[in-house]
Amino acid sequence: MAVLPIIVAPDPRLKVVSEPVSVVDDGIRALLDDMLASMYDAVGIGLAAIQVGVNKRIVVIDVVNDKGEQGNPVFLINPEIVWTSDDDRVHEEGCLSLPEHYAEVVRPDEVRVTYLDRDGEAQELHAAGILSTCIQHELDHLEGILFVDHISSMRRNMILRKLKKLKRQNEPVR
């Protein structure tokens, strides 16, 4: 297993629409394991493959339980939201590609999602609460969308400007 570097915005790679997986093979399973290791290393609850530079429709999620523990990972390949509730929920979101920035985002409260599991078997999942928010956040990544695309352009630009400045400061002097 390898811990892969996570791409930080602004970066054109985060805007790419990811491609469906045609066959769930050992290569995909190795990628899932690397993504999970990378997510735990970065202390996240979800990760989309595009965040480690792979434009495939693959997501790993492990939300914390009421004791703040992880250890129940879900692997979603070619996930599709097939139903959303009429009710919305608001959650303060973060993103490993927007480090140290948070904003409240409104999304449907509950979703049903179909996907292939790590054995390539078709599955369906009903999610509420933080799992629902996280699934929607990750599926956005597969379309090249970040949580800042759901907030005002003023707050989005402020966050992206700060991240851009940090990148500039971290660049070696030539």
User: Which residues are the active-site residues?
Assistant: 138
**Residues 85, 98: Cα–Cα separation, whole Å:** 28
Task: Look up tokens 């966050």; give the residue.
Answer: 159
- 79 lies in the binding site for ligand GNR (CB under 6 A): no
CA angle 13/17/20 to nearest 5° reads 120
Q: Is 50 in the site for Ni ion (CB under 5 A)?
A: no
By beta carbon distance, the residue nearest Ni ion is: 95
**Residues 106/89, Cβ–Cβ less than 8 Å:** yes
CA distance 149 to 156: 7
* Identified binder of ligand GNR from the candidate list 48, 52, 58, 111, rule CB under 6 A: 48
Per the DSSP assignment, residues forming a β-bridge with 127 are 111
58, 96, 127, 159: which one contacts ligand GNR (CB under 6 A)? 96
Can you tell me which of 14, 46, 57, 79 binds ligand GNR, judged by CB under 6 A? 46
Tell me how far the alpha carbon of residue 39 is from its chain's centroid: 10
Judged by CB under 5 A, which stretch of 29-37, 91-99, 115-123, 154-162 contacts Ni ion? 91-99
Contacting residues toward ligand GNR, per CB under 6 A: 44-48, 51, 91, 93-97, 133-134, 137-138, 141
**Site residues (CB under 5 A) for Ni ion?**
95
